[in-house]
Structure 1
């Protein structure tokens, strides 16, 4: 580890310039060694930081003799806030070379990057830190831990789930059976009631597979955005970039139609998170006048995962007060112990508005992160 003495510090803070990406990717592989390597390819990097429809990322690096040893990225995100467009951003891939820690680099990189973002009319930044050890550094430069976002789960393979925590096969078998009984005891009566309700809607909504986001997704967004107090843009341009043009991940999408009118959609994929093989509901967005299509969309995805994938459970990240959360619960999902931290930083003022820090205003899903 390098010396903490200021006189020994040789690194300098610089804005990203073309050609830095190779050194940035090498640093990412070193810092985020537990993540798959395809996330740190130049193709992925350009998709995330350069091809983003809301604008190129604002990136600052710490450089020591031509080597990138620190990195801070602010990716622009357009958000609808109380039916007005605002310039926000998501901060990702904050990293310091392990050999350069405890030299104040994290703090200095954060301050200069967020100040630069504010100067470029980005009103605020938000993030989903996954490492507990970075939180003090974020808080030190003015980030606010506003709330936690729950993960809701629908268990399928009880033996695998309980076996993750219980290594004794005999005990695991007993606990898994008990867990399955408890889940079915609660879920089955709800499922029966829901089945009759869904049966009435099956002929109301037509469900189609979506392989490209067309202009009717723009119409859905325009007609629905005022219902969601705070939400990232979900236009066809954004959705195609996020899901269709992703360089590695394969997403599936179902659309719900009422009399040939698109009224909602759900995005899902298979993935491995928290050590489990999961079916992931990445996003769900519906027209406020046709919210009941949520039941049909969620049940379709549950059936697809059960019939076509060998998974342990289905999971979805959703803000507590989102319309999505209510429909997840009534379809057999329950709140797990896992959460994602949600933090916000004001880039153009010293404080955050009451609107931004109010958890009830936010509609956030995994589609709004860089994780899934």
Structure 2
């Protein structure tokens, strides 16, 4: 058998990586998507690869993200795509995450990584806890707002439920007073996004640095269609919201799903209300079946979402692991979900 070994990414590997994604998941990942997520990431990345000879059989990709932690800025690792060729599952080539552990100490120093965090599924979470690699942060709430019910009961019942949800939403909108701002669709983030981040960043002990550099990479440069709105008062931004429609499969049927991916506002309830209403209006027009968003239980806008009919549908695990972080105060801060500002942005999935 050809020699088995592990190394990090080299230029040109992406051609095999794209083919591996197809073998592993049965669907396409475009070259542009991989390049956006890794090569073009402004904070950098590391990708560990397992090979037999010159054939890549496993991929463990980790994009880096700039975080605000207390009063300092740090670089964090957020594991992305883990994939194994079906022929190597359960074999050496399929245990890349395990074998790559010995490479992490050198990598964290080289890339100045303070910590890592992620959102593993239940199976991966249990494995990580068993081997002592994960520290708990807490659970993130996944909120849904239904726009249609009776997905398998025929179009007539679906349309009746859609009318009901529209009426219910209409009366909720009547309770919201118009503020001293205007809503505007935008295609990129400029200095006003930086100004908003500087104004609100101290509301969050831990958060991705949502400046124009990050936001344009995340929502403008990615080869995916996002819709972005801002609320402005004069030349000042009071908030912005990012959402997306995506076709998803649930219970053996395909439906349009709406995702509120990210949002940032000044500390005003009416601003959050208008941005959320903008998203709901959009998803009704697109005939989405439901809307999903992620929130920390301590999010200042949690009750605002609930008032618009969003309900907790499930929870996802959030974990972290220390790299260069040594300070006990910071460690305690990171280990509490209530200190994090979390949206779907962190997952890099939607």
1:48 to 1:81, Cα distance in 2 relative to 1, 3 A: same
Q: Given the alignment of the two structures, is residue 220 of structure 1 paired with residue 201 of structure 2, yes or no? A: no
- Post-superposition Cα deviations, 1:232-260, rounded to whole Å, max 9, x if no partner, equal 0111111111111112x111111012343
Report whether the alignment pairs 1:257 with 2:250.
no
Match of 1:336 among 313, 317, 342: 313
Contact 1:159 1:176 in 2 (8 A): no
Residues 336, 270 of structure 1: alpha-carbon distance in 2 compared, 3 angstrom cutoff: same
Q: Compute the displacement of 1:52 (Å).
A: 0.8
State the shift of 1:203 in Å.
4.1
Residue 74 of structure 1 is matched in structure 2 by 62
CA deviations over 1:78-115 (Å, ceiling 9, x no partner): 00112321111211112232322334524434414533
SS at match of 2:79: strand
Contact 1:74 1:114 survives alignment (8 Å): no
**TM-score normalised over the length of structure 1:** 0.82
1:302, CA displacement in angstroms?
A: 0.9
Q: Distance in 2 between matches of 1:121 and 1:265?
A: 31
Change (3 A) 1:175 1:23: closer
Residue 50 (str. 1) matches residue 39 (str. 2) = yes
Equivalence for 1:153: 144
Shift of 1:22: 1.4
Q: Is the 8 A contact 2:68 2:206 kept in 1?
A: yes
**Distance in 1 separating the partners of 2:209 and 2:348:** 15
- Go from structure 1 to structure 2 and tell me whether the alpha carbon gap of 1:78 and 1:282 turns closer, same or farther (over 3 Å shift): same
1:229 shift after superposition: 1.2
- Change in Cα spacing, 1:109 to 1:272, as seen in structure 2 (3 Å) is farther
Q: Would the aligned equivalents of 2:2 and 2:53 in 1 still touch at CA under 8 Å?
A: no
Contact 2:150–2:157 (8 Å) recurs in 1: no
Helix, strand or coil: the match of 2:150?
A: helix
Specify whether residues 253 and 134 from structure 1 end up closer, same or farther in structure 2 by C-alpha distance, changes over 3 A only. Answer: same
Give 5+ residue unaligned stretches, structure 2: none
1:323 to 300, 303, 316: 300
Aligned length: 340
**Map of 1:235-254 to 2, 5 A cutoff?**
235-247=211-223, 249-254=224-229
Paired with 1:73 and 1:215, the residues of 2 have a C-alpha distance of: 31
Q: Does the CA-based 8 Å contact 1:144-1:345 persist in structure 2?
A: yes
Whether the aligned pair in 2 keeps the contact of 1:74 and 1:113 (CA below 8 Å) is no
Matched, 1:122 2:113: yes
Moved more, 113-122 or 317-326: 113-122
Separation in 2, partners of 1:75, 1:116: 17
Query: In the alignment, is residue 268 of structure 1 matched against residue 247 of structure 2?
Result: no
